[in-house]
Every structure is written in C-alpha cells, then in structure tokens.
C-alpha cells in the first residue's frame, strides 16, 4: 500500500510526469553521487532523454527541471523566484552547482534528446551518466517517471514495494476495500484515516492536520488562479480566462439565471492555468489533472450548507483511496495510458469523494467512481504544441462538473445493481491504454497536438535496450 500523501504531492507545473518527476530524478542522481562519494570526482554529467519526455520536454519544462534537480532542488520547496536567474547562469555561463561544487554543464551537448527512442519499461525514460576528470564513467543510472511525480530506477521498476508498517484495513482492490468497510462498519474515509495513521506512524489527528494542509494549498491555488491575468507561457498566446469567467458568473448570479454548477468549471480552469504558468499546485493525482479535485472540493465548501472541516478532510481521504487503486492496479501516466489515466482518474476520485461527503455509502462511492472512469475510457493525451493548455485546461473544467453530477447521481441508487465494478473499469482503462497508439499518448505526434503544424511529419519510434 502507498499513502494518500504520495497521491497528493505539492509541486510545480506544468506536468507531474514531465516536470516534477524529472526534477526528482535529477535530484536523486545528484544525491546518489554524494552518498557514494563520487560527486567530488565528477567533472561532467550527461542526461539522455527518451520517448515522451524528449518529444514534449520543451513545452513541459522537462529540460529546465532536470537542470534544477541536478542542483538539488525539489518541486515542493523550490523558490520559484530564483528559477530564472539559475537557469540563465547554466545556459549562458555553463556552470552547474552540483552539491555546492561548480562543474561545467552545457545543455546543448550534455542533454541528449532522443525522441525517436523509447526505453523498454516506460515511455518516460531518463539515463544519467557521471564522468570523471579523465573522461571515465563514474556512475550511470536509468530512471523512469511513471506518472503523478512518482519515479523509479531501472532496478526498482518491476519490484514490489515492501510494506514497512502493517495497516488495520489492508486492501489491494476496491472489492477488498468495500469488504473492510462492510465488516467493520466504516466509511471509506474512516478506513483510510486509520491506515494512514499506521503507515505514517502518527495519530489520526495529525493525519487530519496534514490533509487539511493539502486542502488549504488547493484552495490557495484556486484563489491565485482567479486573481491572475495575462498570457500563459509557451508561445500559443493563450490568455488566462478564469478571472474573466468568474466575474461574468458573479454578474449573472445577480440576475439568478446561472447554474451554480458552472463554478467548478471555472475553479478547475483557475488551477490549471496556474499549473500551465509553472505555479505551485497539488498533484491530484497528476499536474495535468490538478484542477478537478480542488474544484469539486471548493464547490462543496462554498455551496453545500452541510460542509464541515471534517467532511473536507474526508473528501480527500476518500479521493486518495480511489487514487491508490488506480496507481497500484493500473497507471496514472498520460504517456503510458493517455489522458484517461490523468483527467479520467481525477474525475473518478472526485466523483467518489463527493458521493461520500454528501452522504453516500461505500457502495455508492464505488458507483460514482466507476461511472466517472467509464465515461473517460479511451481519452487521448495530445495537447496542442505539447503544452498543458489546450485542451487540458477546459478538459479539467468539464471533468469537475461531470464529477459533481455523477457523485450526486450515485446517491439516487444504492449501487448494488451495477453491472461493472470499479475494479473492472480500472483494468479496462489499463488495457485500453495498452491498445492505444503511442502517437496519442503525450508524444505530440498526432491528434490535437499537431493542429498548429502545417503538416504532420511521421516519426518512427523504436525501443532501445540499455
């Protein structure tokens, strides 16, 4: 089992798998050099970037993230104001600070972008190599960014993570989670809360405090997105729309002719505009889908008269449980299974969580989560120009509204007559992703991604062994 705090991570935009993951991988390699006593001998580092990371790396900030990670920065605490000056130093002066020691680093020659090659275990592959003064190889390590900011080494990829602490209500499937709730007369959030306390090794009150902190960061991101204006970076000249849309909704509210369920669309867009601008967001479960859960939660806080702080926390506990099921039994990587693994999973998490906090049973929670994924099956990941802007920002808004409606719909039935279980739809999503053409999985080679190009240039992709 993994923790919900692995699902909800504080990081920076625009992508959890293409920005957050590579930064963490680079920082891990830098730390590995330090721990093995090789950093003082290192004179050069070369990074080979493969597959989806190479093809869409410029638009996703992958290459910049790698440079910052080598200097020891991590997504959750990197000072955003310092980033431009640091990148300018590396690019123009070719000076990289490896564990406090300056080495030469030229991005033009030391970052090898291999978009026509894919490493065998995942589309998001990175190979780091450190060289000594004599040009000899000191250390080499492959990392995979497997979605949601998670990284694994080549050696870790196929290994089952060890369970270091027993939990009171273990589960590996939704069926097992529902059985635990039924036998112990618990809501999903209650079972997850007890598990988290055991996993982290602290009190349930402390877990609630940490969950409340995540909720506050989400709310803060919405507020920043609603207050910001101007164009998003990347060259598409996409303007931030959330502030103007919010102002129009407020004006329409005075005339009483607007449906309040339009608000979560605007909240989600505000978050994803912040993400596209490289701001600080909560990965939920990815950055490309970071707006959906905050939007539905903020809507619940603002418009539901029965919203309490405890229910806010229960929302994220339940959403986290659903996210864990997708992460451990399928994938949350757009490069692996398409956007169904990002926006689809986030919608599923939000719908199930919303069902619980408005009074749903565990079975109704499953019903809401299953329906939400069912209607995202086959969703491609092909953002225009490789930027997390079109259609990603609007797509988050639509999924947030859909999550609200499906969470509410689930409470009109008891959930016992459903023909498809959440476990079955998770496996269907995984198989659908495996069957999807690679050009539609965050490679910028087909679909909407090439609409601004005069013509598509086919690129053959081959798997390389390392």
Element of type H or E holding 462:
strand 462-463
Tokens standing for 52? 């989806």
Element of type H or E holding 150:
strand 150-153
pLDDT in tens, 44-69: 999 999 999 999 888 889 999 999 99
Collect the ranges in the chain with pLDDT lower than 50.
454-463, 466
Q: Sign (positive/negative) of CA torsion 425, 430, 436, 442?
A: positive
Q: What does the alpha-carbon distance between residue 205 and residue 4 come to, in Å, rounded to a whole number? A: 15
313 Cβ contact list (under 8 Å, min separation 6): 189, 208, 211, 212, 215
Are 400 and 267 within 8 A, CB to CB? yes
Partners of 129 in the β-ladder: 46, 140
Q: What is the pLDDT of residue 456?
A: 35
Q: What is the pLDDT of residue 227?
A: 96
405 Cβ contact list (under 8 Å, min separation 6): 261
Are 154 and 144 within 8 A, CB to CB? yes
85 Cβ contact list (under 8 Å, min separation 6): none
**Ordered structural domains, the chain, with CATH:** 18-146 (3.30.1330.90), 174-454 (1.10.4100)
Q: What is the pLDDT of residue 453?
A: 65
Burial class (CB in 10 A: 0-12, 13-18, 19+), 162: exposed
């Amino acid at each position: 089992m993994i923790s919900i705090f692995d699902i909800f991570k504080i990081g920076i935009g625009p992508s959890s798998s293409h920005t957050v993951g590579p930064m963490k991988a680079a920082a891990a390699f830098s730390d590995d050099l330090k721990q093995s006593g090789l950093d003082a001998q290192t004179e050069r580092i070369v990074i080979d970037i493969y597959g989806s990371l190479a093809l869409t790396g410029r638009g996703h900030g992958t290459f910049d993230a790698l440079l910052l990670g080598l200097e020891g920065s991590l997504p959750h605490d990197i000072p955003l104001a310092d980033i431009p000056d640091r990148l300018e130093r590396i690019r123009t002066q070719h000076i990289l600070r490896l564990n406090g020691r300056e080495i030469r680093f030229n991005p033009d020659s030391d970052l090898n972008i291999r978009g026509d090659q894919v490493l065998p275990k995942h589309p998001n592959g990175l190979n780091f190599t450190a060289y000594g003064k004599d040009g000899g190889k000191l250390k080499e390590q492959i990392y995979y960014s497997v979605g949601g900011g998670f990284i694994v080494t080549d050696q870790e990829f196929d290994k089952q993570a060890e369970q270091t602490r027993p939990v009171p209500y273990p589960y590996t499937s939704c069926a097992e989670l529902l059985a635990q709730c039924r036998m112990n007369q618990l809501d999903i959030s209650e079972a997850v809360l007890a598990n988290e306390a055991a996993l982290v090794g602290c009190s349930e009150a402390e877990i609630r405090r940490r969950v409340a902190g995540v909720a506050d960061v989400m709310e803060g991101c919405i507020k920043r997105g609603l207050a910001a204006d101007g164009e998003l970076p990347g060259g598409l000249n996409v303007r931030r729309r959330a502030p103007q849309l919010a102002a129009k909704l407020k004006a329409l509210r005075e005339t009483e002719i607007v449906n309040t369920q339009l608000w979560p669309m605007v909240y989600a867009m505000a978050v994803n505009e912040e993400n596209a601008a490289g701001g600080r967001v909560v990965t939920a479960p990815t950055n490309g889908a970071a707006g959906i859960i905050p939007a539905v939660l903020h809507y619940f806080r603002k418009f539901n008269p029965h919203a309490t702080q405890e229910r806010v926390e229960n929302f994220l506990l339940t959403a986290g449980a659903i996210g864990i099921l997708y992460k451990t039994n399928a994938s949350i990587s757009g490069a692996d299974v398409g956007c169904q693994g990002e926006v689809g999973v986030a919608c599923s998490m939000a719908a199930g969580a919303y069902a619980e906090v408005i009074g749903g049973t565990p079975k109704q929670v499953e019903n809401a989560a299953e329906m939400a994924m069912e209607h995202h099956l086959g969703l491609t990941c092909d953002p225009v120009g490789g930027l997390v802007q079109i259609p990603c920002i609007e797509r988050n808004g639509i999924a947030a509204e859909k999550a609200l409606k499906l969470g509410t719909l689930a409470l009109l039935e008891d959930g016992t007559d459903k023909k498809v279980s959440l476990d079955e739809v998770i496996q269907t999503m995984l198989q659908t992703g495996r069957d999807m053409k690679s050009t539609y999985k965050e490679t910028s080679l087909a679909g909407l991604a090439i609409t601004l190009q005069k013509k598509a240039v086919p690129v053959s992709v081959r798997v390389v062994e390392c």
